[in-house]
Chain A
Amino acid sequence: MTSPRALADLPFARRPPLELLGLTEDRATVDTTYAGFGWTLVDRLWLDAGGALTRVDDALVLALHAADDGAALADDVELEFELGEVRAIAPLSAFLARWLPRLPTTSSVVLALCNPHHARLPAPAAAAGRPVWYGRGPVDSWLDHAPDHDRLRLVAAAGWHQAHTPTCPEAP
């Protein structure tokens, strides 16, 4: 299999939410070696900023991975895609410009993505005004069991933020 050379050639596919977020196995800790990526649609999920919860409905969730040895950028994140024998690298901004227009339109977009250098992300033009949520620092997925339903939760202990437009300050 030849590895892709362009962003458009990435095998970035839709997957079931639990599978995409690495939640199919019963475990009490977070798997830090997970390398799966793709997108999914959820009716509801919760963004957890170390205890403070924000509810997000009708979301397109993009599961991505920040490069562990990526450059420290103030307004971007270097992504890494494990593709068998190679690691494909690309900036998040370029990825969103290429892929967001191809994906379903929802009320909001959530990036399940670590942000190791605490970059402040600008709103991508391809989001067309929809809120784009991203975390700072490590981002982990959790599934909370409740008697009547299960709850998807993404944790970013350093906080969740909405990507800001150039003319507006970043929402808290």
Chain B
Amino acid sequence: MLMGSMLASMMMPSYVPMYTQPYTTSAARHGELHRQRSSYRAQYPDRFAKKSATGRSYGGSSGTKRTPPRSRGGSRFGGRASATPRVVLVA
């Protein structure tokens, strides 16, 4: 009954919606929310390091760390089998 009345009034030319301005989060409130969430995550890090049944981590601090390689591979000082013409250098 009430729903039907509301829908009927929306069709009337004199209908004015209750909220005319779209809602947006203010910059101040945005910063406050960000701080709150960061603080909460820092306080409970375990809750944000999800693990699957196989033990693999998804997200959280344990899943985002990347240790650099211990050694970097360089080069081999041998020749390559090639069909490039050879020139013998004289002393």
Contacts of A36 in B (CB 8 A): 75
Whether a CB of chain A sits under 8 angstroms from the CB of B91 is yes
Contacts of B74 in A (CB 8 A): 21-23, 30-31, 34, 140-143
Q: Is A23's CB under 8 angstroms from B86's CB? A: no
Q: Is A145's CB under 8 angstroms from B72's CB? A: yes
Whether a CB of chain B sits under 8 angstroms from the CB of A63 is yes
Complex Cα distance A10/B73, Å?
Answer: 28
Q: Is B79's CB under 8 angstroms from A65's CB? A: yes
Instruction: Specify the chain B residue showing the minimal Cβ separation from A63.
Output: B77
Whether a CB of chain B sits under 8 angstroms from the CB of A167 is no
Residue in contact with A80 in the complex, picked from B75, B76, B79, CB distance below 8 Å? B79
Contacts of A81 in B (CB 8 A): 89
* Listed stretches B29-37, B40-48, B53-61, B63-71; interface member: B63-71
Residue in contact with A10 in the complex, picked from B68, B85, B89, CB distance below 8 Å? B89
How many contacts between A and B, using CB within 8 angstroms? 132
Contacts of B88 in A (CB 8 A): 88-90
Residue in contact with B84 in the complex, picked from A85, A112, A153, CB distance below 8 Å? A85
Bin the interface of chain A by size: 35 or more
Instruction: Specify the chain A residue showing the minimal Cβ separation from B68.
Output: A145
Contacts of B11 in A (CB 8 A): none
Complex Cα distance A66/B79, Å?
Answer: 5
Interface size on B, residues (CB 8 A): 23
A contact face: mostly helix, strand, loop, or mixed: loop
Contacts of B77 in A (CB 8 A): 34, 63-66, 112-114, 139-141
A63, A98, A140: residue with the most chain B Cβ atoms closer than 10 Å: A140
Instruction: Specify the chain A residue showing the minimal Cβ separation from B90.
Output: A6
A residues 60-108 with Cβ under 8 Å of B?
Answer: 63-70, 80-83, 85-90, 94, 97-98
* B residues adjacent to A (C-beta < 8 A): 68-82, 84-91
Q: Can you name 12 A-B pairs with beta carbons within 8 Å?
A: A28-B71, A34-B76, A34-B77, A63-B77, A65-B79, A81-B89, A86-B85, A87-B86, A89-B86, A94-B89, A94-B91, A114-B78
* A residues adjacent to B (C-beta < 8 A): 3-7, 10, 21-23, 25-36, 63-70, 80-83, 85-90, 94, 97-98, 112-114, 116, 138-145, 153
The 6 A-B pairs at the shortest CB distance, nearest first, are namely: A22-B75, A141-B74, A34-B75, A68-B79, A114-B78, A90-B89
